[in-house]
Amino acid sequence: MGVNDTDSDKTQEEEQQDLPKVVLFRPPPAFSLIGEESFASNKFQFLKTYDSQLPLDQFLSTHSHSIKAILSSGGAPVNADILQLLPEVGVVVTTSAGLNQIDIPECRRRGIKIANAGYVYSADVADMAVGLLIDVLRKVSASDRYVRQGLWAAKGNYPLGSKLSGKRAGIVGLGNIGYEVAKRLEAFGCFVSYNSRKKKPNVSYPFYHDVCELAANCDALIICCGLSDETRHMINKQVLSALGKEGVIVNIGRGAIIDEKEMVRCLMQGEIAGAGLDVFETEPSVPKEFFAMDNVVLSPHRAVFTPESLKDLSQLVVGNLEAFLSNKPLLSEYVDSE
C-alpha cells in the first residue's frame, strides 16, 4: 500500500514537471493579496526566476525549451533581450491594464500575442478617479483632518469646497477605463470631452486632438491613458498652464505621464487648484511637498485593487493562459484602443 502511494506521488510529480511552463520575473501583487493558489491550474506550471540563485540569462536558457508563456507584472521588463532567450514563448499575459513594461513592437515582430487585464479593473479605477475628483473639489480628506485635529471647535467652519455637477471634465485616454470615467461623470452632470490617439467612432463627446487645447477647455483633467514614449511627460508646463488656476488634475494612469516636478511647482505657486493622485513618477517615493498641501489627495497606487477585481483577475489570467495552451482565442487579447 505504501509503495503504491509512493509510485502514485512520483507519477503526479512527473506529470507536473511535463506541464508547459509560465515564467514569472517577479511576484504579481495579486499573489500576496489573494494568494498564489488562486492562479493555479492543471494545464501549466509557474516557473519563478526570483526563486532561483542562477543569473537570469542562465536560468532562462536552461528552461527555454519548456517556457511557453510569460506572466508579467509592472516593474519587470519584457524586452528584446528577454524574448531572445525564450524562443518558445507565444504569449505574454499581464496582470496590469497598462503595458509599459512590455516591448510591444518586439512582441509583434516575433508573433507573440499579448493579453492584458482587459475590463477587469475598469469599474474600480473609474470609481477611484471620480472619488479623487470629488475629494479634491469638496475637500473631503482635508476637512476630515480638520475635524480630527479638533480645529472645527477651535477655529470654526472649514472653507467651502466646489460642486462636481456642471464641471467640464477632460479625459486623456478614452479606452476601457476612460470611457467608464466618462459615463460616471456624465451621470454627475459634468460636460465630458476627451483626447485620445484618434477620435472614437460612435462617441458623442467632443474630441480634442491637442491635449493643451483640451486642458484649456476643462475644469478637471483626468489622466486615464497608458504610459509610452509618446505619453511620458505629456502633461507638461504648457498643459498645466492651460488648465489654469481653477483647474484640477486627477491621475489614475501612470505617474510619469505628468511632469511631476512641474506639477509640484504649479501647485505650490497656485497655478492649478488641486490634484488627486493614485500614481507617482518614482513609486513608492512621493514628493514631500505634497504632504503639506490640503488641495492634494494621495493614494498609494491602489485604484485597481479590490477583492472583487482580484478574483476576476485570477480567473482571467488563468483563462488566458489555458486558452493559449489549448490553441483557443485569448479572452482579453490586447489591441490598440485609446
Longest dimension (CA), the chain: 80
If we measure between CA atoms, which residue out of 112, 85, 115, 110 comes closest to residue 25? 85
- For residues 94 and 72, is the Cβ–Cβ distance under 8 A? yes
Return the exposure string of 311-338: e unless at least 16 CB atoms fall within 10 Å of the residue's CB, then b: ebbbebbbbbbebbbeeeebbbbbeeeb
* Alpha carbon 302 to its chain's center: 9
Whole-angstrom distance, CA of residue 61 vs CA of residue 64: 5
Residue whose C-alpha cell is 451621470: 187
Known catalytic residues? 254, 283, 301
How far is the C-alpha of 28 from the C-alpha of 30, rounded, in Å?
Answer: 5
Q: What is the DSSP string of 231-261?
A: TTT-B-HHHHHHH-TT-EEEE-S-GGGB-HH
User: Cα separation of 236 and 260, whole Å?
Assistant: 9
- Counted residue by residue, the chain has a size of 338
> Which DSSP helix (H) or strand (E) runs through 131?
helix 122-138
Query: Count of CB atoms within 10 A of residue 187's CB?
Result: 9
Report the chain's C-alpha Rg in angstroms: 23
Cα-to-chain-centroid distance, residue 35: 20
